[in-house]
Every structure is written in structure tokens, then in C-alpha cells.
Copies of this chain bind each other. A is one copy, B any other.
């Protein structure tokens, strides 16, 4: 498969493929002469993964690179790979800042351990959650961390199911790819379903009249 065929098979334009090659997202093809290289089905698959991380996961190119490196490194186990993916999805962790923000973070930490969750101290999601709590308070919401309790219960149930699904899924390469794809894609799906459900309940309660 030459580059033009790879492009046709994947739907990704040639210049973009070259860009990914330069950026180290895609392994070079097997060189067949100075001006010829052979690409495989694995390249098509990798391109799909790249687009999924970029689009569904809204990751930046450099974060995609980090995830792919971890994915290709046999030394990296499931758990660490998941952490890498979460980190890449999480956006940049802003510094603590004000004392109120530090308070929020401390409360989140207590909340997490009260749930019995065993989670790394540096997990970016801690900060995301703390920022959410802080923001609610800024807006005058009388917010105890407990407002997150129903969400936590739900998250726990879904995550338990997801992680057990991942377990035994053929060779490592396939399994870890499935883990990353699943994390990203089901996250997008969950968010979309929540919005649909909100719209439904909103329509029930407030009546759906005009649109836009």
C-alpha cells in the first residue's frame, strides 16, 4: 500500500498523513527504494485511532503522541496506560491558586477517599472536580462536595462494568487499544446521552415550543 492508497483507505489527506509522520504519530512505512514506502493495514488502523483521539477525545497532537507512545510500549501496563490517557484527556492542570481553590481540592480529596477510591494523588481529574466545586461556589451555589454523590455512585457503577469488560481481550496490542478507544468514545457517548436526557426532561417540565 502506497501513501495515496493509505490516504484513500483512511480518508485522511496525504499532506495530513505526512504531517502525522513528521509529528511521530504514525510509524514510517517500510522503505522500498528511496522514493517508495509500503504501508499496511496497521497504518490504517492507527490513523483511525489518531482521528478518534483528536476528534472524539479533543486531544492535542502532542498528547496523542504521548498516548500512542505508551500504547506501543510493552513495558507499560493497563493501569498506567489508562492514567496516561486520562492525563492527555484532562487538559492542563492549572495551579492551585487561591486558598478557596485549595480548600476545594482538599474537600475533593476527602470525598474521594470517603468513597473508598484508590486514586493517584496527581490524577488531573481531582483538579477538574475541585475546579467544578469552586466554580459552583463562585456562583453562590450552596455547594457541599456531597452534591457530587449521585454522580459518583453512577460513575462507580459504569467504571466497574467498563474495567471488567476490558480484562481479557486477546493480545495486548488489541486490548490496550480497545481500552483507550473505549475510554474516549464512551465518555463522549455518556455526555451526549446526558444532554439528550436533559432535553427530554426539560421538554416534559417546561414544554417544548419554538426552537432556536
Residues of B within 8 Å of A162, CB to CB, are 198, 201
Q: Which of B45, B77, B84, B190 contacts A194 (CB 8 A)?
A: B190
Contact yes or no, A129 B83, CB < 8 A: no
Q: Which of A12-20, A21-29, A30-38, A176-184 lines the interface with chain B?
A: A176-184
CB contacts (< 8 Å) of A157 on chain B: these are: 150, 154
- The answer to whether B58 touches A199 (Cβ under 8 A) is no
Interface residues of A (CB under 8 A from B): 45, 48-49, 52, 56, 58, 77-80, 82-84, 86-87, 89-90, 112, 117-120, 122-123, 125-126, 128-129, 131-133, 135-136, 138-139, 141, 148, 150-152, 154-164, 167, 177-178, 181, 183, 185-212
Question: Nearest chain B CB to A146's CB is how many angstroms away?
Answer: 12
Closest to A76 in B: B210
Number of copies: 2
**Smallest beta-carbon distance A135→chain B, Å:** 5
> In the bound complex, do residue A139 and residue B197 qualify as a contact, i.e. CB atoms below 8 Å apart?
no
The answer, among B148, B201, B211, for a CB contact under 8 Å with A160, is B201
- Note all chain B residues with C-beta closer than 8 A to A112: 196
Tell me if A195 and B48 are in contact (CB < 8 A).
Answer: no
User: Taking chain A's interface residues, is the majority helix, strand, or loop, or is none over half, making it mixed?
Assistant: helix
Q: Determine whether the beta carbon of B199 is less than 8 Å from that of A83.
A: yes
Q: Are the CB atoms of B202 and A78 closer together than 8 Å?
A: yes
Bound-state Cα–Cα, A193 to B83, Å: 14
A-B CB proximity, top 6 nearest: A159-B197, A155-B193, A128-B192, A163-B201, A117-B200, A125-B192
Partner of A118, one of B79, B151, B192, B204: B204
Q: Pick the contact of A128 from B80, B188, B207 — CB < 8 Å?
A: B188
Q: What B residues does A77 contact at CB under 8 A?
A: 206-207, 209
